[in-house]
A and B are shown apart, each in its own frame.
Chain A
């Protein structure tokens, strides 16, 4: 992310290379070992989430086993207070994290783009002042306490509510960097040309300028998705997870409430946190690869 500030028109190089952009994206991202690891790991997570019913030995809510048993051949990670197989919960939990990451990332990026791009394009006007103020305010208000307060009011918490609240509170950083990036682009000749040919502001911003910063947008999306996954886990650990599905955070919440550690049920705590950490690390690795697109100076070759 740090590299995105000074990146200017990364896609110009794509055009210069004269190859298919998709092919080039693939080659650049794949050239980084870290990004390769990240892509493979995330792909495995996606597979696990899709094939959860096949992989998980039992249902995620099937409470028909002896409660609070340690790891065994039948229950790799033991069972919880309600007699549910923890391993199955972990497998199904990947669905929640990935879904929240995908939707939360998309929504937060969309808000950030709308506010950041319009604000940057209108730099120096009242519109920019208002939007910048909005962004700076959202940036200094601590996110987690606000998310917690907003979510705590709802008794039935579905994934849409959690995604919405996370996206609504976490777009500001990305909006600020999008604003800075569009300012470097908006005086380019192709923008002036679009203006003279009578294109509207929104058309110029979103169909002329935006395609020139796709790799920056992709990086912002991965960052936002990572943030959303972490925020969901934090909410769930406090008992504010989705009420109709079990996430890794929910498992940790249940484990903590049941005193898993004092009972020596270590894997119950260790594994959900570990799979979460591995997912977040892999996504950070993917962003290393995307940064290579935006900033050729970082390339290893």
Chain B
């Protein structure tokens, strides 16, 4: 029980740290955000108009009062799900803008994460079982090399090859002809648009699982309980899957959440390159047009999602591995 309490406690503390960081980042910047906004709109050397600055301050719901009361207001707003108003999509709120992009990314990243995990685990386990075979060598060498490639570059190459060169897949956007809704035409349309972004991520993300799984599995294969299983004359398949792979899986479960953070980072660039209407492109867009409330909202959402995934992985780990529970008690 103590293990679970500790993990939930860590989650609450990190959540508080992230929320506070999100509050502090804009306030650590030199200058008045409203003034900066007006200056940006008017051009670098233009004379600032006081009335404009005041109007902008009202528009932004600019903070007033002491830092502490601002902090309190911020927390209250946050609990009500209010992330402020987007500069660019005014009068839409940040929450509404994010809401529209949310499912595009969740479906893309969710599919990629689950598939990568499955593929990575299988390849890694098999490579470890056939250690030093030709299969093992090619898997490790290819993974090591591909792991050094930048996702956005792979994205550009795929657009060139499979998009423009062969014309197999659309290269930009999330859907084209069909109207959004749950019907066959739209689902097909959306899937063909999501294919290249997904493929890009699928090339990179399994690598961590492959190499990690291979390493832990090789370590497990040297353990005494494997020797015992062999001595008992158990079939190879059973030793590989039920004994070694099953135990080697544990660290991968713990890494699931950390990998999610990495994928979410990768989607920013990949979605931007593909103009895919998800959270990542929204973030790239918010950067380009200095839509700070939107940017902060997205940062917060990404961080909270990763923290939550981390909590779930930790709890799962505690259920799967009694040693983890005992170590904490």
Q: Are B262 and A142 in contact (CB under 8 A)?
A: yes
A141 to B307, CA, bound (A): 7
- Shortest distance between the CB of B307 and any CB in chain A (Å): 6
A139 to B159, CA, bound (A): 33
Judge whether A2 is part of the interface by a CB distance below 8 angstroms: yes
- Shortest distance between the CB of A129 and any CB in chain B (Å): 11
Q: Are B148 and A281 in contact (CB under 8 A)?
A: yes
A85 to B327, CA, bound (A): 60
Q: Are B306 and A148 in contact (CB under 8 A)?
A: no
Judge whether A50 is part of the interface by a CB distance below 8 angstroms: no
- Shortest distance between the CB of B111 and any CB in chain A (Å): 19
Residues of A within 8 A of B149 (CB): 273, 277
Judge whether A164 is part of the interface by a CB distance below 8 angstroms: no
Contact of A240 with B26 at beta-carbon distance under 8 Å, contacts A141-B18, A142-B265, A262-B164 already known = no
Contact of A238 with B25 at beta-carbon distance under 8 Å, contacts A136-B14, A142-B306, A233-B150 already known = no
Q: Among residues 254 to 298 in chain B, which have CB atoms less than 8 Å away from a CB atom of chain A?
A: 257-258, 261-262, 264-266, 268-269, 272-273, 283-284, 286-288, 290, 292, 295-296, 298
A190 to B13, CA, bound (A): 38
A276 to B156, CA, bound (A): 14
Contact of A137 with B17 at beta-carbon distance under 8 Å, contacts A145-B283, A237-B269, A277-B153 already known = yes
Q: Interface readout for A134-158 with B: 1 if CB under 8 Å, 0 if not? A: 0011011111111011101110000
Q: Are A139 and B283 in contact (CB under 8 A)?
A: no
Q: How many residues of B contact A (CB 8 A)?
A: 52
Q: Are A153 and B292 in contact (CB under 8 A)?
A: yes
Contact of A152 with B148 at beta-carbon distance under 8 Å, contacts A2-B215, A262-B164 already known = no
The prevalent SS among residues of A at the interface is helix
Judge whether B145 is part of the interface by a CB distance below 8 angstroms: yes
Judge whether A90 is part of the interface by a CB distance below 8 angstroms: no
Residues of A within 8 A of B92 (CB): none
Judge whether B29 is part of the interface by a CB distance below 8 angstroms: yes
- Shortest distance between the CB of B288 and any CB in chain A (Å): 6
Q: Among residues 260 to 276 in chain A, which have CB atoms less than 8 Å away from a CB atom of chain B?
A: 261-262, 266, 269-270, 273, 276
Q: Are B150 and A149 in contact (CB under 8 A)?
A: no
Residues of B within 8 A of A149 (CB): 25, 295-296, 299
A281 to B153, CA, bound (A): 15
A137 to B306, CA, bound (A): 11
Partner of A133, one of B13, B144, B298: B13
Q: Are A238 and B215 in contact (CB under 8 A)?
A: no
Judge whether A284 is part of the interface by a CB distance below 8 angstroms: yes
Residues of A within 8 A of B164 (CB): 261-262
Judge whether A213 is part of the interface by a CB distance below 8 angstroms: no
Q: Are A276 and B14 in contact (CB under 8 A)?
A: no
Q: Are B269 and A238 in contact (CB under 8 A)?
A: yes
Residues of A within 8 A of B288 (CB): 238-239
Contact of A148 with B287 at beta-carbon distance under 8 Å, contacts A262-B164, A270-B157 already known = yes
| Closest A residue, CB atoms, query B153 | A273
Judge whether A162 is part of the interface by a CB distance below 8 angstroms: no
Contact of A143 with B160 at beta-carbon distance under 8 Å, contacts A238-B287, A273-B153 already known = no
Residues of B within 8 A of A153 (CB): 25-26, 29, 292
Q: How large is the interface on A (under 10, 10 to 19, 20 to 34, 35 or more residues)?
A: 35 or more
- Shortest distance between the CB of A1 and any CB in chain B (Å): 10
Residues of B within 8 A of A209 (CB): none
Among A139, A146, A239, A240, the most chain B Cβ lie within 10 Å of the Cβ of: A146
A252 to B147, CA, bound (A): 19
- Shortest distance between the CB of A290 and any CB in chain B (Å): 15
Residues of B within 8 A of A137 (CB): 13-14, 17-18
Partner of A238, one of B13, B14, B284, B307: B284
Judge whether A293 is part of the interface by a CB distance below 8 angstroms: no
A251 to B236, CA, bound (A): 52
Q: Interface readout for A184-203 with B: 1 if CB under 8 Å, 0 if not? A: 00000000000000000000
Residues of B within 8 A of A154 (CB): 29
Residues of A within 8 A of B302 (CB): 142, 145
Q: Are A140 and B257 in contact (CB under 8 A)?
A: yes
Q: Interface readout for A115-139 with B: 1 if CB under 8 Å, 0 if not? A: 0000000000000000001001101
| Closest A residue, CB atoms, query B260 | A142
| Closest B residue, CB atoms, query A274 | B153
| Closest B residue, CB atoms, query A278 | B148
- Shortest distance between the CB of B282 and any CB in chain A (Å): 11
Judge whether B10 is part of the interface by a CB distance below 8 angstroms: yes
Residues of B within 8 A of A60 (CB): none
Partner of A256, one of B156, B157, B292, B298: B156
Among A133, A137, A140, A153, the most chain B Cβ lie within 10 Å of the Cβ of: A140
Residues of A within 8 A of B14 (CB): 136-137, 140-141
A137 to B303, CA, bound (A): 10
A-B contact pairs, 11 of them (CB 8 A): A141-B14, A142-B306, A144-B268, A145-B265, A145-B283, A148-B295, A152-B290, A237-B269, A240-B287, A269-B157, A273-B156
6 extra interchain contacts, Cβ-Cβ under 8 A, other than A141-B14, A145-B303, A238-B269? A140-B307, A144-B264, A145-B302, A237-B150, A237-B272, A269-B157
Nearest 8 Cβ contacts at the A-B interface: A144-B265, A273-B153, A142-B261, A280-B148, A281-B148, A149-B299, A145-B302, A153-B29
